[in-house]
Amino acid sequence: MTCQLPADCLNEIFEYLAEDKISLRSCLLVNRSWCEVAVRIFWRNIFSINHREHIPLSTLRTIIACLPNESKELIYFNEIVVRNPILNPPIFNYLSFVKVLSIYTIGQIIEDALRNRQIDSPQSLYFIKYLMLQELLKGFMSQISSLKSLDYNLRLDTVQYMPFSYFPGAKDCLKDLTEFRCDSNIYPEFCFQISQICHNIQSLTIEFKNNVSDGLKDLITFQVDLEYLNLIAFDDKDWKDIIPALTKHHNRLTKLHIHTDKENVTFSFIALFENLQELLISDNCSDRYISDFDELQNVIFPKLRILKIPDRYPQIEIFTKFLENNGSNLVELTLADVHKSVKLSISRFCPILKKLYVLFEKDEMNILKDILDSCQYLESIKVWCGHNFLNEKELLEVIASYSPKNFNELKIYNDTRSELIHQDMESFFLSWGNRIPHRPLNLFVIKNNGGYSLALDVNEENIITIEKYRKLGVIKKFGIENFDY
């Protein structure tokens, strides 16, 4: 007699595959019970699938097949022909499974279909795009019981506004929205309507354009539990117009990410958020130092746990003072190529760090040793090697000899092609295997986007050595990651 796992067990297993669409798709084909569980997870974030041509077009046909008859009739009445339509009734109501909706992606799928002649019509392109987007959104609004994430960045040349918040079912669909992404010039009427429906947005991403909608300010003000704010302001844009609306959230916001390329942009408003746990400042301005950070040097964030400043950095004395005030609670720290004195302050002011990413120059190995000696909770470190940075062989020797007992993850990006030979790897793994207590090591190589330097993985003998020690339990995991600036 065949033993089948109950649905709740299958659901828990398939949740681990939520981001692995290829494996999850395979689960759909095993049997009916697997399909019934996996399909809900697969369609929950269907628009995250990479846009290989056959996937979005087949997705579009499936969505159209799930539309109510009046929408299908309207499309047909307007002489819009969808090639190779799905004629049989769908097995599931796929639209009801969707929890993450991207208006831009839906529009992009429609444009892909038009470009590939999967949709034909004598009507104008504007009319086709507008009508198709309208009817698809009607279908989503009427059939999704509780949408969780909405990306309202239209970014379509012809469709500037779509009033889907007034569509039947929209209020029930949108009322539990927890993630929202939009441009700052979002259409005021739509934003006002959303602010009347959605009061529980926890994650808000704003990409700043030429102006800031008054409706956006109202939307921010009406939220009762805003926890994560992501501000994106490039091409000389900034966020100063929304700062008054943010004051209401001074004690609620726990996660703040900022991305800008503007000089002299204000960062002083960060001091509003006394309960920040995570702060990221990505500042790609041409100037060397982050301006306006002096306003924060004496501010204490008692709950700050994660700090990431991967591009420019504050002036040395100012940032050192900031670490003195806030380093004691940090468990994760990412910094740009900061001054040597700032790196020295890490060992003094950040005793409970678990994850660290800092660029060490080739003459700064002793600073790394000091950090490894002082930060006894350190578990993971990411460093650069080659050219002006650390020597790989010396790095491995230091990690084996000086890293604290909980250390278990090393990530290496090579600025030049790796010169490690398998004897170097053998020596490192022997040293690591003899550590007491012994913890298997996760070793990751980071390659740049062009694949110029593949670091450790270019040497076949090194790979054989890594596999040998993986089988012996010295290495837990070896992987190759893409460079993420």
Q: Are 296 and 268 in contact (CB under 8 A)?
A: yes
Q: Are 370 and 402 in contact (CB under 8 A)?
A: no
Write down the H helix ranges in 116-203: 125-143, 170-174, 188-197
Please report the pLDDT score of residue 53 as a whole number. 43
Rounded Cα distance between 102 and 108, Å, is: 10
Please report the pLDDT score of residue 98 as a whole number. 93
Domain boundaries, the chain: 1-44, 49-177, 376-485
Please report the pLDDT score of residue 1 as a whole number. 39
Please report the pLDDT score of residue 8 as a whole number. 78
453-to-274, 349, 357, 361, 423 alpha-carbon distances in Å = 42, 35, 19, 19, 20
Please report the pLDDT score of residue 301 as a whole number. 95
Q: 50 Cβ partners below 8 Å, 6+ apart? A: none
Sign of CA dihedral 267, 272, 274, 278: negative
Report the chain (485 residues): mean pLDDT per 10 consecutive residues: 66 75 79 82 79 63 90 87 80 91 87 82 83 92 94 67 87 94 88 90 93 88 94 88 91 94 83 94 73 84 94 84 94 88 93 94 93 95 88 92 94 80 88 91 78 53 86 89 67
Please report the pLDDT score of residue 154 as a whole number. 67
